[in-house]
Amino acid sequence: MSLLIIGGTGTLGRQIVLQALTKGYKVRCLVRNFRKANFLKEWGVELVYGDLSRPETIPPCFKGISAVIDASTSRPTELYALKTVDWNGKLALIEAAKAANIQRFIFCSAQNLEQFSNIPLMKLKQGIEIKLKQSKIPYTIFRLSGFYQGLIEQYAIPILENLPIWVTNENTCVSYMDTQDIAKFCLRALQLPDTTNKTFVLGGPKGWISSEIIQLCEQLAGQSAKVQRIPLLILKLISKVFGFFEWGQDISDRLAFAEILNIENNFSKSTFDIYKIFKIDPEEIIKLDDYFLEYFIRLLKRLRDINFEDVQKQKNLII
Ligand SMILES: NC(=O)c1ccc[n+]([C@@H]2O[C@H](COP(=O)([O-])OP(=O)(O)OC[C@H]3O[C@@H](n4cnc5c(N)ncnc54)[C@H](OP(=O)(O)O)[C@@H]3O)[C@@H](O)[C@H]2O)c1
């Protein structure tokens, strides 16, 4: 099976690429910047030029392809890219996939779309899910929650740098997940015909509230967090007045917004039912504690190395 991956340079996309290559798939990535994507080429990927904001560049990327995994989304730093990429680009992608008679289209969507249709990205994702279903292309949709990777910037780095962490008083659980595990589900879907034409709300095995994550980081960093609390009502008001969280923030921030809005979360026993469908043992899923532990160990090692290099440099100066 030859795979076309969109968003291969992204946080999730690169994990999908890596695992697809390990599994022996022939992988092609649609990329808009060859220099930035060079690491994928070094891994053994075929790079083709394509830009979701330039629909005419998409169809040629499908030559000889049998399945597509779309893990792309507009970069928040690119003004006005949201509609061009997450709507027009995705529609063009579906059209090209249909014309190429693609056997499976895997789309990475987000949880809680219905509750957040006032947030443009959520509304567009909801619309694309509908268009994909209507296209009659065999599909699998994953509605994802937040990624562990986003928590480093949200919690670990501010604690290490003694910067404030903004939280509300709400205790909403979010079942974050490591992108390595999400990638596993995406690839497993290709091997399981029963997952065709289905939507899965995918989350990690445990729901986490902000205070638990902060406590975990504090323990591992050996430092206290500067936690700043802001009432949910005020946050909602600010977001309404200034319209932020709408266009300018990155996806993890936008999803953090889901966290602070204190809605019923999707984490439940159905999570484990999904693991069963995908024949994935919950024990295989990377736990947030282990993810953070590994991050802090790597960081400490790096700091020790830097310290060692500095001492060596000083010694050389003295000699
Ligand atoms: N992050 C989260 O917590 C989270 C939670 C739920 C769902 N999701 C969804 O999961 C998917 C992956 O998210 P992520 O955080 O891994 O994304 P990401 O790191 O921001 O990566 C976005 C990818 O899309 C590509 N892209 C952007 N504009 C493009 C264009 N015009 N043409 C072609 N490619 C373009 C980027 O390529 P360049 O490198 O060239 O910019 C990059 O590879 C997305 O669909 C996202 O909505 C994410």
Q: Give every CB contact of residue 216 below 8 A, 6+ residues apart in sequence.
A: 288, 289, 292
Cα of 45 vs centre of ligand 1, distance in Å, is 18
Residue whose Cα lies nearest atom 17 of ligand 1: it is 10
- Ligand 1 nearest atom to the CA of residue 125, by list position: 47
**Secondary structure of 264-284 in the HEC alphabet?**
CCCCCHHHHHHHHHCCCCHHH
Three-state DSSP class for residue 202: strand
Does 278 have pLDDT greater than 50? Answer: yes
Residue 28's H or E segment, with its range, is strand 26-31
Note the pLDDT of residue 242.
55
pLDDT digits (tens, 9 = 90+) for 62-111: 999 999 999 999 987 787 899 999 999 999 999 999 999 999 999 999 99
Q: Ligand 1 mean position to 312 CA, how many Å?
A: 41
- Per mean pLDDT, which range of 84-98, 140-154, 227-241 is the poorest? 227-241
Q: How far apart are CA 91 and CA 89, in angstroms?
A: 5
Please tell me the residue having the least CA distance from ligand 1 atom 31: 52
Q: Please compute, for residue 122, the number of CA atoms within 13 A of its CA located in the half-sphere on the CB side.
A: 18
Domain spans in the chain, listed from the N-terminal domain onward = 2-146+177-204+265-295
Q: What is the CATH code for 2-146+177-204+265-295?
A: 3.40.50.720
Banded pLDDT at 241 (limits 50, 70, 90)? low
Q: Give the per-residue pLDDT at 238.
A: 66
pLDDT tens for each residue of 209-233: 999 999 999 999 999 999 988 777 7
The residues, any chain, with a CB within 8 Å of residue 239's CB and separated by 6 or more, are 245, 246, 257
Mean pLDDT value of segment 100-129: 92
Output the residue whose Cα is nearest ligand 1's atom 21.
Answer: 10
Measured from the Cα of 54, ligand 1's closest atom is 31
The answer to whether 227 and 168 are in contact (CB under 8 A) is: no
Q: How far is the CA of 11 from the centre of ligand 1 (A)?
A: 7
Strand partners, 165: 227
Kindly report whether the global pTM for this prediction surpasses the value 0.85: yes
Neighbours of 153 (CB within 10 A): 12
| 146, 256 contact by CB (below 8 A) | yes
Mutate to test the pocket of ligand 1, among 5, 47, 56, 73 (most ligand atoms within 8 A of CB): 73
Enumerate the β-bridge partners of residue 142. Answer: 108, 200
- Give residue 250 CA to ligand 1 midpoint distance, Å: 10
| Contacts of 222 by beta carbon, 8 Å cutoff, 6+ apart | none
Q: Which atom of ligand 1 is nearest to the CA of 108?
A: 45
- Atom 27 of ligand 1, nearest CA residue: 74
DSSP letters of 204-262?
-SS-B-HHHHHHHHHHHHTS--EEEE--HHHHHHHHHHH-TTSSSS-HHHHHHHHHHTT
Which residue minimizes the CA distance to atom 39 of ligand 1?
Answer: 9
Minimal CA–CA distance to 89: which of 65, 116, 124?
124
pLDDT of residue 249: 40
Q: Which of 183, 208, 249, 242 is nearest to 21 (CA)?
A: 183
pLDDT greater than 60 at residue 254: no
Tell me, in angstroms, the distance from the centre of ligand 1 to residue 308's CA. 37
Ligand 1, CB within 6 Å, residue ranges: 7-13, 32-33, 36, 51-53, 71-75, 85, 89, 108, 110, 144, 146-147, 150, 251-252, 255
- Indicate the pLDDT class of residue 130, thresholds 50, 70 and 90: very high
With a cut of 50, say whether residue 250 has pLDDT above it. Answer: no
pLDDT class of 251 with cuts at 50, 70, 90 = very low
Q: How confident is the model at residue 1 (pLDDT cuts 50, 70, 90)?
A: confident
What pLDDT score was predicted for residue 318? 67
Which secondary-structure segment (H or E) carries 152?
none
15 compared with 170, residue with greater pLDDT: 15
